[in-house]
Amino acid sequence: MKDVNIGFIGGGNMARSLIGGLLADGYAPERLHVADPDADHVAALERDYGVNAGSDNQAVVDRCQVVVLSVKPQVMKAATTALNAPPGVLFVSIAAGIRSADLDRWLGGEAAIVRTMPNTPALVQSGATALYANARVEPGQRDVAESILRAVGLTLWLEDESLMDAVTALSGSGPAYFFLVMEAMERAGRELGLPGETARLLTLQTAFGAAKMALESQADSAELRQRVTSPGGTTERALQVLTDGELEALFARALTAARDRAVELAEQLGQ
């Protein structure tokens, strides 16, 4: 993979995260090319990462075997319809809500496309990304696409693109759900008398520790919950309150609403 030139159209935060992850994996900066319309972004990319940066999208496409489309979904159509896509180039989209068929149409048809849905923890190399490849993507191209996204966290392949809307609801929007829970726990801790900084640090470390335990354990979340819930204890009392409040049903409705909105946005953005 490391003899492949990789380009980025759009040099924002997610592109910078991917570039940083690739460099940390030993990728040569001279094989990375970035196009961004903001001169300050271009200068920062050259200064911070030593990559080739400029403002010409087509020049990136012409120099690279893999092009990561990292512009905002609202401008993806304009950015891609302006490109002359040479045969054999793999396009990897990290834009939420843009379907591969729409990208293919904008790129002139016959494009090899991997659509991905990363989430914001990718900015700290702890992301979760689902990937979907259209029929023109070759096995070697799948490997390259996976390697790029794996540089910033976990990667999983989907064989059914329609499931990407569920991924958007679960992991794409998911960090915000956890932030809301953490915010509520921190506030409750303060209301119970804890100093603000103490409540904040205890909340953050507890969230981190719970996630780490789940990742490193063979047990599922339900079993882990049961292990820390002593009969008649404090945890059982707290969980009963959450159960009485129908927390599980509330999350089901929330994710369904997010999934439905993802479908709506995909229809709008694909027009």
- Indicate whether 1 pLDDT > 70: no
* CATH 3.40.50.720 correct for 6-167: yes
The model's pLDDT over 217-267, given as tens digits with 9 standing for 90+, comes to: 999 999 999 999 999 999 999 999 999 999 999 999 999 999 999 999 999
* Residue at token pair 């409750």: 188
pLDDT tens digits along 170-208: 999 999 999 999 999 999 999 999 999 999 999 999 999
8 Å CB contact between 55 and 35: yes
Options 2.60.200.20, 1.10.3730.10, 1.10.10.10, 3.40.50.10330; CATH of 172-266: 1.10.3730.10
Mean pLDDT for the stretch of residues 89-108: 96
- The lowest-confidence range among 29-33, 82-86, 208-212 is 82-86
Question: 3-class SS at 173?
Answer: coil
Using CB atoms within 10 A of its CB, is residue 1 exposed (0-12), middle (13-18) or buried (19+)?
Answer: middle
What is residue 271's predicted lDDT score, i.e. its pLDDT? 83
Q: How confident is the model at residue 3 (pLDDT cuts 50, 70, 90)?
A: confident
pTM of the model: 0.92
- Residue 42 CB neighbour total at 10 angstroms: 17
- In the chain, the percentage of residues whose pLDDT exceeds 90 is 97
Overall residue count recorded for the chain in this entry: 271
> What token pair was written down for 208?
């981190």
Q: What are phi and psi of 129, to 5 degrees?
A: -130, 130
pLDDT(101) > 90? yes
| Interval 96-120 mean pLDDT | 95
pLDDT digits 0-9 by tens, 10-37: 999 999 999 999 999 999 999 999 999 9
pLDDT grade for 60, boundaries at 50, 70 and 90: very high
Domain boundaries, the chain: 6-167, 172-266
The tens digit of pLDDT for each residue in 117-168 reads 999 999 999 999 999 999 999 999 999 999 999 999 999 999 999 999 999 9
Q: Which residues pair with 67 in a beta bridge?
A: 7, 91
Q: Cα–Cα distance between 151 and 41 in angstroms, integer?
A: 22
